[in-house]
Amino acid sequence: MREFHDWNSYDLVMIFDVLEHLKKEESLKIIDEITTQLLVFIPLEKQFRENDFGVEAQDHLSLWTEDDFKKLGFETTAQHKPLEF
């Protein structure tokens, strides 16, 4: 993924529902490379680790908590209930 992007040539990098599909160590390397503004959407609930689709690409390889991001120095806003549409 990193070979194709100069992350810091953008004003804002948005990563939606991606990091949980990578090993945490790989995600941390990517986060560390981004020095511009970063917006991350990620499921925080443990049940999201379950693969109900039987598709390997849907597997979540890492579980994240709001505290994980706070420890990295990020300002966080967590939505702990399902969004209603």
Residue 22, token pair as written in the block: 């990578």
As a whole number, mean pLDDT of residues 12-37 equals 90
Residue-wise pLDDT tens digits, 50-71:
555 555 556 788 888 888 999 9
CA-closest candidate to residue 63, choices 81, 82, 47: 47
Using the structure block, give the residue that is written with the tokens 């994980």: 68
Residue 31 in this model has a pLDDT that exceeds 60: yes
Residue pair 61/19 in contact by the 8 Å Cβ criterion:
no
